[in-house]
Structures are given as C-alpha cells and as structure tokens.
Structure 1
Amino acid sequence: MSMFQLTNARGETVDLNSEKLFANTPTGLGVQFTNTYNQYETYFKATKSTVTQGQFQIYILFGDVESQAYQTFSDFAQFLAYQPLTLTYTTDSSTWYRDGRLNSLTKTEIGGSTVFATDRINESFTLEFINNWYNNKTAEYKSYDPDLNLGTYGKIYGNQIADTSIQINSQGQQNKLVNTEFSPDLAGWYGGQSSQSGAYSTGTTTTGWSLDTETYKESGVIKKVLGVGGIGTYSDLIDVNPNEVWTIRSAYYNSTDFNGGTSLAFYMRFYDANKNYISSVSYNNPVSTTWKEGAFTFTVPGNARYMSYNTLHNGTIGTVKMSEPILVKGNSVGDYVKGLEYKHVATPAYTYAYAPYYVYIEANRNSEEKVVSLINKSQYFGLQKGSPCVITISSTNETISPSWSVIKNGSIVATDRMLLILSKNQRLVVSSYPEDQYARVYNPDGSYADVSQLQDFTKTNFVQIPEGESTVLFYVDNQATVNLTFKEERLLV
C-alpha cells in the first residue's frame, strides 16, 4: 500500500502514488494550536487552547504520459465530486484515516506549472480536514463458556463494612435478597415489621425470629432456617424500577396449625424515592407440616423506587420455619441461588471493600445486562474528553427501552436510553459522530426511521468513550446482540 490514498463518499479509492497520479511534496500532516494566556510578571498561565483546522496540501502529476494527462485530471475531478473524502495515511508505524472536504485543486496547462517544467499537468491539491486522525475500533458483547465455579465476571467497587458477593443461577437470575442462608447470624434481616407509614427503618426489634437447623426437601441436608414465634421479619431495601415484574419464592417452609389460620405470608412493601411507604402486596401460603415451596409473582407500582421483602405468620399459636428465600426479576424462578452474602469483617482505612452496586455480569447466561470492556488509546492533548461511537443493538425478541451507561473508574460518565420498543429483527443504531449524529431503527428490508426524538432527555445521550479503560453496560433483552464501534483518535500521528 502506498503512503497516500483517497476514498470518496461512494467508496471509490484512488492511489496518490500511482503511475497516473503521482503525488509529491506533501504538507499539513501535523498539528497547530492557538493558545491564549494570562500574564503575571514573567509568567504566562494558559487560559484556553484550541486546535487549528488542518489543511493537507500536495502536488499531483496527472497521467503517466502527456496524452493521458487531461483525461486523468478529468477522472480525478469526477472522483472528488462525492464528498466527504477520506485520506488514508500509511507509514512504517501504522495506518491512520482522516476525513476532509476539497478546498482547492488548481488547473494549469501542460508545462505551465510553477513547481517545475513537465510534459504533464502538475497541480496543487488542498484538502481541509474536518476531524482528527482515527482508527475505528470495534467491540461486541462476548459470552463466556459456563464456569460452574465462577458466578460472575466483573468489578465491584465501594467502601463499606459489609463484604458481599453476587450469585447467579443457571437461568441468569440474581437473587436480590441478602444472606439467604441466615449465616452466620441474621445480618440483613430485621425483626418485627417494617413501617406502613413514614420512611423505611430497620428498627431494633429482634423478637420472633431465631436461627435453627432442619432437614428439608427430604434430602438429608441440614440447612440453617428461620423459626418464628412472633410477627415476622423483613429484608433490606431493594432498588426497583416502576412496573417491573418480580417473583418471590420462600423457597421452603413448614408450619404447624394456627387455629385454622394461614401459614407463612409473603409481603412486598413498596417505597418512593425518599423511602416513604407507598403500598404493599401479599400472598398467604397454605399451612403445611412438611417442607413445601411457596411462590408469588407481583408487579411494582408505577411510583415505587424501592421495596422490601416481609415474612409474617398469620395466626395466634404455632410455629413456622423458612429457608432459602429467593427474589428475582421476571415471572418465574429457577434453581435456588444464594443472595448477597454478608460477612461481618472490618474494613481497613483507605482500602476498598466489596459492595453490590457496580457488578457487571459477563457470562454465557440469559442476562439482561451485557458488558463491553474497552481500551481507548486516543490522545486529545486535553482538548476533548471522549471519542464518538456507533452503537448497534438487535434482537430476535422485543427489546423494551434499551439503555446503556459508560463507566470509568467506578463512576458513570455517560448514559443513554431509547423510549421505544425494538421489535423482532429490527436494529437500533445510535451514532454520536459529530459529523453524522443520529438514532435510527432499521427494518429487515433496509428501510429506517429516525428516532432521535425518542431519547430519554434525562440522560446525557449520544455517549462518548473516555480515554483509557472503560466499561459500557447495556440493559437489553437477554437475546439481544450488542456491537460498538468507536474512533481511536490522534491529533498527531
């Protein structure tokens, strides 16, 4: 490949170092800044720095012989009519691309050049750059072969006393409850009943529940269970989104008769963004003197942002025991999986402990969370914070309101969300390229509709990829595929 090539908007490419187009004396491949300063005595403090729009200039000899000079020039002029143009610059270090538009192309007669006498047309060609040098980097969601010994792949950030870990079952479901084996004590569970008015409070009541051991499922396996003689217990608050469907399973309970009353009752209590009680839903499990599963599916109210799981027994006498509760998104529950495990350990000062917020699932499971890890080696000399990108989402199922977040060093730096339903076999394409910014839904026949107006304007929208290492976390249908292309850019190559 020669040093310089041009590609027009139709995808046609010409070589500027061929026999018919011989380019020489290139200039304008570097960078120039305009800096302003505040002066203090003999010192100058930089107040603003901008990059000057670059211009690439080169002289071109047209035609390999005199008789072909005019035709070669005419062909090149027609090639230039389809803009923008992309310059490919190849050296022994690497290949880079840069887009531009025609600024000028001189036209003289054979032998009339001011550069040197020749039997061919020798003209000056100038291209105005409209962006930086770049290489397109592509990443896509990658699934991993299942590893029975590893529940998740990802990073966990925080600075809390509790040491927690996420557990995922074979169906890709995460148990949102804490300490579901009640070990080593009742950490994460609170005696009594959470308030039905005012703000959520863990309270101090501990009567009614105690740890016990019991054989259940007729497996001969001894598990720790909760035994109740009081009014019940409740869990930590759990983050939710409005109108989500969830399912709770005990997973196992048994009881003695409560004078004809019901046995273990499941209650889900909902709270607003300020953690004030809104409402609740409940399900009463029948009395059973042998270990039995109980399940309950419910929908989160439209104004709820948190919920807590409550367990009660309804009766005046008797006992009830519960083991292995599991709370998951969706209308069905797979095999039991431990929840967020609490381990009471001291956290040394100025070090990280584990907390559940930033956990990025990246495994061969039916998860609605898909993760793409990126390394952006762009260099902007401090003038720009991120690189533009194109995101493509497609699925064989419906995808409701796909969203994504860009995370760097544990902090969310950019977000986007589309308030639409992506139908089966449609593709959502969102481009943050400044010269071609759009959000479109493509149909299987290639037609498309612009959906930029359906972005969630509470988000930053049209995300950019920051320099260095970052993670893009997508919330999409579990059958969706995700592809991301970003520009790794340089001002100087």
Structure 2
Amino acid sequence: MSMFALTNARGETVDINNDKLLSYTPTGLGVQFTNTYSQYETYFKATKSTVTQGQFQIYILFGDVESQAYQTFSDFAQFLAYQPLTLTYTTDSGTWYRDGRLNSLTKTEIGGSTVFATDRINESFTLEFINNWYNNKTAEYKSYDPDHNLGTYGKIYGNQIADTSIQINSQGQQNKLVNTEFSPDLSGWYGGQSSQSGIYNTGTTTTGWSLDSEKYKGSNVIVRVIGVGSVGTYSDLIAVTPGLTLSVRSAYYNSNDFNGGTPLAFYMRFYDINKKYITSSSYNCVKSTTWREQSLTFTVPSNAAYVSYNTLHNGTVGTIKMSEPILVEGNNVGDYVQGLEYNHVATPAYTYAYAPYYVYQESNRPSNEKVMSLNNKSQYFGLQSGSPSVITVNGPCSVNPTWTVVQNGNVVATDGFVLTLTDNQKLVVSSYPEDQYARLYNPDGSYVDVSQLQDYTKTNFVQIPEGESTVLFYLDANSDVNITFKEERLLV
C-alpha cells in the first residue's frame, strides 16, 4: 500500500499512487483554525477557537498509457459514487484514516489539462473532510479464572512493583504464605479436618490453637494440640500455575511420641479451579524434641489451581509447634521472608513497558460489574472533550444494562437502557456524530431502534475522554461487552 488510498462505502479500496492512478502534489493534510480575540491595550485574549473544515487536494494522472486513460477515469468515477469515502494516509509515523465526501473532480481531455500538457488525462481531485484523523481502538471485556496473584489483565508488558510491606529475601524470593508472624486471631490459618473430597473450607475452627512465648529465629511459635483423625494446621488457599515448581520449609518441634502413630509430616494439598481437593504431596519427618527443619520441592499438577500448606497427617495424637513456615517458587528455599501482616491486602502496582490504550481489570469472582480502563491518546487542541464510541453488549442480560465513565474520581458520562437481552441478542450503541444510534440486534442480523428505551436521566451516547478513564458496566455476570472508540488527531 502506498502513501494514499481511498475506500468507498462499499468497502472497495483503490490505491491512488500507482501506474494507472498516478497522484502527485497533495495539499490540505494540515489544520487551520479560526480564532477570535478580545483586545485589551496591546494584549489579545482568545475568546473562541474553531477548526476550519479541511480539504484534501491532489492531482491524478489516469491510465498507464493513453489508450486506457478514459476507461481508468470512468472506473474511478464509478468508485467515487459510493460515499462517504475514507482516505488512508500512511507514513513512517503510522497509518491514519479520515472520512470525507467528494468536493470536485475536474475532467479535461488528453493534452488539455490545466496543469500541464500530457498524453494522459490529468485532473484535480478534491475531498472535503467530515471528521478528524483517527484510528479505531477496540477494548473487549475478558473473564479470567480467579488468580489471587493477578489484579490487572491487559495487552501490555507489565513489571510488578512489590508491595513495600512484603519483604523479599536475598534470593529475590517472596513468601507465599500469609501471616507467618501468626496474629492473635490466627488469620489465614485453620485447624481440624480439611475435607479430602469436598470443597476447601476456610471456616474450620481454630479451637485449641495458641501462641507460645518460645522463639525460634525470632518468630512467634504456633502451638496446636492434635487429636486422632484431625489435621494439625493448614493455610489459606494459594493460587498457583500448573507445572510450577514450589519449595516449602517448616521449622517444627515435637514434644511427645504421638503414641507411635503416623510420623509427623508436612505436605501440600492441591485443589482444582472449583477449590475441590485433587491430591497431595507429603514428607514424613523424624520425631524430635528439639527444633528441626524439613523441606520439600514439588511440581504443581496440571489440573491444579490452588494449594494449601499442611503440618500433620491424619491418625496422630500429640502437640505440634511451628515457626516461620516458608513457601517460595523454585527449587531452593532461601532465608525466611516475612509474610503478609495481619489484615493486610496486597495490591500489586505496575509499570508498563509502553503506554497501552486500555487495560483489562478483573475482580477475582464473577460479578455484575465489569470494568475496563481506557487510555485515549486523542489530541483536540482544546476544541473537544471526548472521542465518539460504539458500545456492544452481548446477552444474556436480565437486568437493565447501564454504564458509567469515570475520570479522576469524577463521573463524566453515563448511559443505560430499560430493556433486557436474551443470550442471542446484542445491544449496539453508537455515539458517532455522523451515525448515532441505539439498536437491538437479533441472531439473523435484523435490528430494531431502541433509542426510545434509553434512560434519559443519564447523559446518553457516551464519549471517551482524553487521557486515562475507567468504564463501569452493570450487566449480568455472563454478559460480554466491548468498546470501540476513535483515537483522533487534528494533525498527524
């Protein structure tokens, strides 16, 4: 594709810089403003600024030889009959688009051009622009399996910045176990029977737990009296990636013989995406009345999504003391890393290798609220506040769909409709000035106008503001939504 191409309303595209349509001397690619001022002495205060409608003009030689000049011109004239036209402008700074309508196309005879004599038809073509230079940007809401280690999704390369309250050891490892200082209410830790076959239960009682004043490596010591058929201690579920290598180490103290039962052990219990038990990997420990350390390296099964850390097999009786458990990625356990403090919620911060125009945001559970963050890099020279958009909501949606655009904590635009969608219908709302509509589409492609069902308490037909903003959609949990908006420039 050369520097200039035209596309008509039927989707046909013509390159206007080739042997048969040789264009030259383009003008009108810039911008012109009409400014008015209020004068005070020698000063001029701007009171109004408007942009002048642009006109693109270029000369075209028709036909690669004289005998083809008239036919080439006729073909081009038929192409122009389907308007509006879209001009594609490609340079080393990128490709941009601009829509327009034909203003003029001169017609002279061969050798009778007003520009210079030639053996081909040589004419002037003028296109009146009806909008700005633009690129269409599309963002689509995506649902992801719950992952506690991820808070932001997007087509970006992100570098996570560790939360300052999480200590990283000299090996660059972060302890994945929470509350390894063991807060008074033992948050993040559970006791009793952990169901082998059912869903992981985070509500199991912590009765019988206590904290010991004894110190090991400077940490609090957790004490648990174990009865027959019970699990000693297990942690909150930790989201993991299938195939990931993890290593765990536990410091422990055994104060009695456990009646000759199953040896003291610690192990990892794996769960699927629905938090249902799959399998476990364990390590039996040597009985001891002094502090010892044991470690285990294992690979996350292909069907696992979560893991919990456990300190004792079933079938034993006795007392377990534990201090500073560590769970890290990789096959080596480094020095102890402080876990998350009590009541602390880690929210990863991100920097970006490049500035994306949108970022997917996802809560860790299905929700009726769907969120997309957008980055609109349009440049309007202060003449316009937002870019037009097309919003598509795919059913099912049993609630009235609404959406809100928020920027810097302020609501800047809202829209909504008093209707519902079946699973094979979609709502399409366009705020493009040249083609503004609200339609409900059926599976066969037919549609009805539903603009009369718009919620008129809202601003309606939202535009996406310049810069970063967030769009909140209130739909069914199973509804899908996407946005297309124009990133626009007055100069490219």
Q: TM-score, normalised by structure 1?
A: 0.58
- Aligned mates of 1:432, 1:445 — CA distance in 2: 24
Cα distance in structure 2, aligned partners of 1:95 and 1:153: 29
Structure 2, unpaired ranges of 5+: 154-182, 186-191, 193-200, 209-341, 345-359
Q: Distance in 1 between matches of 2:46 and 2:397?
A: 52
Q: Which residue of 2 aligns with 1:377?
A: 377
Q: CA-to-partner distance for each residue in 1:352-400, whole Å, 9 max, x for gaps?
A: xxxxxxxx972353210111111110000000000000001102x3432
C-alpha separation in 1, matches of 2:85 and 2:438: 23
Letter in 2 for 1:132: N
**By how many angstroms is 1:35 displaced?**
0.2
CA offset at residue 219 of structure 1?
A: 4.2
Kept in 2: contact 1:59–1:122 (CA 8 A): yes
Matched, 1:428 2:413: no
Match of 1:220 among 188, 205, 215: 205
Deviations 1:330-365 (A, max 9, x none): xxxxxxxxxxx999xxxxxxxxxxxxxxxx972353
Q: Which amino acid aligns with 2:2?
A: S
* CA distance, structure 1, for counterparts of residue 477 and residue 106 of structure 2: 57
Aligned-partner SS, 1:9: coil
Give the AA of the match of 1:220. Answer: T
Whole-angstrom distance in 1 between the partners of 2:394 and 2:474: 12
Query: What is the identity, as a one-letter code, of the residue corresponding to 1:388?
Result: P
- Paired AA for residue 435 in structure 1: E
Provide the residue aligned with 2:330 in structure 1: none
**Counterpart-to-counterpart distance in 2, 1:385 and 1:44:** 24
Q: Structure 1: how far apart are the matches of 2:207 and 2:491?
A: 67
Matches of 1:88 and 1:361, distance apart in 2: 33
Instruction: Tell me if structure 1 keeps the 8 A contact 2:394–2:425.
Output: yes
How is 1:20-419 mapped onto 2 (pairs within 5 angstroms)? 20-148=20-148, 219-222=204-207, 362-363=362-363, 365-395=365-395, 397-419=396-418
Structure 1 equivalent of residue 471 of structure 2: 472
Distance of 2:423 and 2:415 partners within structure 1: 21
- Structure 2 distance, partners of 1:149, 1:5, is 47
| Two-structure CA RMSD over aligned residues (Å) | 2.7
Shift of 1:6: 0.2
Aligned-partner residue type, residue 470 of structure 2: T
Could you say which structure has the larger radius of gyration? 2
1:448 maps to what in 2? Answer: 447
Q: What is aligned with 2:462? A: 463
Give the superposition deviation at 1:110: 0.3
CA distance in 1, matches of 2:476, 2:63: 57
Q: Distance in 2 between matches of 1:418 and 1:342?
A: 40
SS of 1:421's partner is coil
Q: Secondary structure at the match of 1:453?
A: helix
Any idea what SS the aligned residue of 1:69 has?
A: helix
Task: Work out whether residues 148 and 364 of structure 2, in 8 Å CA contact, stay in contact via their aligned partners in 1.
Answer: no
Over 3 Å counting, the alpha-carbon distance change for 1:407 and 1:26 in structure 2 is same
Distance 2:89 2:398 in 1: 41
| Consecutive unaligned residues in structure 1, runs of 5 or more | 155-182, 186-214, 224-340, 344-359
What CA distance in whole angstroms lies between the structure 2 residues aligned with 1:184 and 1:437?
60
Aligned sequence identity (%): 79
Which residue identity is paired with 1:14? V
In 1, Cα distance between equivalents of 2:485 and 2:411? 18
User: Secondary structure in 2 aligned to 1:399?
Assistant: coil
Q: Would you identify which runs of 4 or more consecutive aligned residues in structure 1 move more than 4 Å?
A: none
Deviations 1:151-206 (A, max 9, x none): x669xxxxxxxxxxxxxxxxxxxxxxxxxxxx999xxxxxxxxxxxxxxxxxxxxx
Residues of 2 paired with 1:387 and 1:2: CA distance?
28
Aligned-partner Cα distance in 2 for 1:380–1:149? 39
- Deviation at residue 145 of structure 1 after TM alignment: 3.5
How far, CA to CA, are the matches of 1:144 and 1:444 in structure 2? 26
> How far does residue 222 in structure 1 lie from its aligned partner after superposition?
4.8
Partners of 2:93 and 2:5 lie apart in 1 by 16
Distance of 2:491 and 2:137 partners within structure 1 = 18
What residue number does 1:18 align with? 18
* Cα distance, 1:366–1:447 mapped onto 2, change above 3 Å: same
Q: Distance in 1 between matches of 2:36 and 2:2?
A: 39
The whole-number CA distance in structure 1 between the counterparts of 2:435 and 2:59 is 30
Is the Cα–Cα contact under 8 Å of residues 426 and 444 in structure 1 kept in the other structure? yes
1:484 counterpart residue number: 483
Partners of 2:429 and 2:184 lie apart in 1 by: 48
Q: For residues 420-456 of structure 1, give each alpha carbon's deviation from its aligned partner in whole angstroms, at most 9, with x where no partner exists.
A: 1112210110000000000001000000001111110
The residue identity in structure 2 corresponding to 1:12 is: E
Q: Distance between the aligned counterparts of 1:361 and 1:435, measured in 2?
A: 31
